[in-house]
Amino acid sequence: MKNFWVKRQRGIGITLIMLGTVLLVTVTGYLYSKNSGVKGFSQILPENDTILYFEFPASLDENGALTQKINQFLNIDWNKDILPLAGEKGAFALLKNNDSKRIFPVFFLQTKSREQTLQFLNDHKKLPADNEITFLNDGTALLVSSLYKPSSGARLSENKDFIRLRQNLNSPWFAYANTKNFTPEIENFISQFLPKMPITLPAFKSIGITAENNENIWQGRSYAINSREIIVQNEQAYRAILLPFLPADFEIILSGQNLPSQINKMNSLQAQDSNIPSASDFLTTFKQQYLDGTDFENLFSKEFAVAINGEKILAATELTGKNEEKQISLLREAFMKNAGNPTLITRDVELPDGTKAKELMPDFSAANTSNENFYGIKINKISFGRGKIIYDSATQNKLFVSNDLETLKKSLLLTREGGRSIRETPLYRQFLQPIFKNPEFAGIAASESGIFSFSKRLFADHMETGFVFMIK
């Protein structure tokens, strides 16, 4: 998680440095007109050339990271030089030019008057090279690169996907990505300051993100329009029934419902690219390595959860009520066969042509099973040798599996007599509960660097995600 925050901070700096290529300053009012579509800066931007667009309130935090980077790069004081003439918004965008095949960063500032803006430009003449000043009919002053040749045709404000995103995401902090026009070069640029997405960007036509800041805690939502419509079966609402049985001490919590169905939905959304591993490829590999021989689809068809605290791992799943004993027995056999990392022994074999040879085989002789009674609940123990042990226990139609006995017992006590679970922690109430609105998958991670939580749901034509994060 530390690397994520480092990359993010570095990316902000890279983004602002790139803005030096072009400076675009808008003047006079709020650019509201009677034209249809979304009003604002997007009425200036060309629809086909705009790759990325980020809008933010002009009243930036004086000591915030974005303010400091802008001050450093432009050699200005945002609060002293900009705020007196600024309107409500600022923004920047990445534009592509089909003729030159170059990417042009641009910067916007909504100002109160043309005169104040001209005075600002006169006081700050050290601007990047290859720029020229033009004026729009409404008095908007533009400082743009003479190398950029804007496309004719529709504006971004008229794009139906952009309109849809803006209607669903109305916070002052707003970001838009036209992912269908992404090239490998653009994706590499974005990857410098955004975390790696669990699926590839071609899965979406466009993505919108909005967020609000409250005392160093950011809460927001994303809305992504699918590249293709997928079939979504009606599923039982996620009730989070396993969270009250997860211990309060954790670093990472992941929970959701019907894991096989979720992976299949993501796989159907995934762009068909042979060079990109799909979600189903990951599932197949995972099943073969760790759960070979189990009824995976049945075992994880209802709710599931995973809690991680250092090297201690706890997994829980809601049992279906169908052949439970057989499911659990197959799971134990899979642990012994696949997760036990057994020692290898050599045996003599005869090949079809009669040749004598040696064959390496796993030796499970060191593995053994035992059990104990814990307040009336049976705990099963599987020892693999080499100090590797797996514990499991089934109670109240739930299966718990852990590599640490005390962690497992904490969960079992929560099922028996209640107590302090993840749901009773301030972290849950502050970071997960506010975005726990009809999700199908959710999680939270806490470290010395910060805290991040998310919840998501995939629909036939779009995906919605809520998130909260704080950088320490």
pLDDT tens by residue, 276-314:
556 566 666 666 666 666 777 778 888 999 999 998 989
Instruction: List b or e across 435-447, with b for residues whose CB sees 16 or more CB atoms inside 10 angstroms.
Output: beeebbbbbbbbe
Q: Determine the pLDDT at residue 456.
A: 92
The residues that bridge with 470 in the sheet, in sequence order, are: 217, 451
Helix%, strand%, coil% for the chain, nearest 5: 30, 35, 35
Q: Helices 2-18 and 65-74 sit at what angle, rounded to 10 degrees?
A: 30
Do residues 82 and 59 touch, judged by C-beta distance below 8 A? Answer: no
Q: Determine the pLDDT at residue 20.
A: 31
Which amino acid belongs to residue 394? Answer: A
DSSP state at residue 421: B
Which DSSP helix (H) or strand (E) runs through 9?
helix 2-18
The whole-model pTM stands at 0.78
Among 70, 94, 109, 73, smallest CA distance to 148 is for: 94
Residue 68: which residues within 8 A CB-CB, separation 6 or more? none
Q: How far apart are CA 368 and CA 326, in angstroms?
A: 19
The residues that bridge with 382 in the sheet, in sequence order, are: 369, 390
Secondary structure tally for the chain: helices H, strands E: 11, 20
Residue 46: Cβ-neighbour burial (10 angstroms; 0-12, 13-18, 19+): middle
Which DSSP helix (H) or strand (E) runs through 252?
strand 252-257
Residue 331: which residues within 8 A CB-CB, separation 6 or more? 291, 294, 299, 392, 399, 401
Q: Determine the pLDDT at residue 471.
A: 82
Q: Determine the pLDDT at residue 289.
A: 61
Beta strands in 351-414 (DSSP E): 356-363, 368-374, 377-385, 388-395, 398-402
Q: How far apart are CA 185 and CA 179, in angstroms?
A: 12
Q: Kind of pairing, strands 398-402 and 312-318? A: antiparallel
Q: How far apart are CA 327 and CA 85, in angstroms?
A: 68
Angle at 246 between CA 300 and CA 222, to 5 degrees: 70
The residues that bridge with 306 in the sheet, in sequence order, are: 254, 315
Do residues 399 and 414 touch, judged by C-beta distance below 8 A? Answer: no
Q: How far apart are CA 195 and CA 176, in angstroms?
A: 16
Tell me which residue has tokens 């010395």.
448
Among 434, 438, 464, smallest CA distance to 451 is for: 434
**Residues in the chain, pLDDT under 70:** 1-38, 73-74, 98-101, 124-151, 187-201, 271-293, 336-345, 359-367, 384-387
Q: Determine the pLDDT at residue 174.
A: 94
Among 44, 124, 41, smallest CA distance to 78 is for: 124
Q: Determine the pLDDT at residue 418.
A: 79
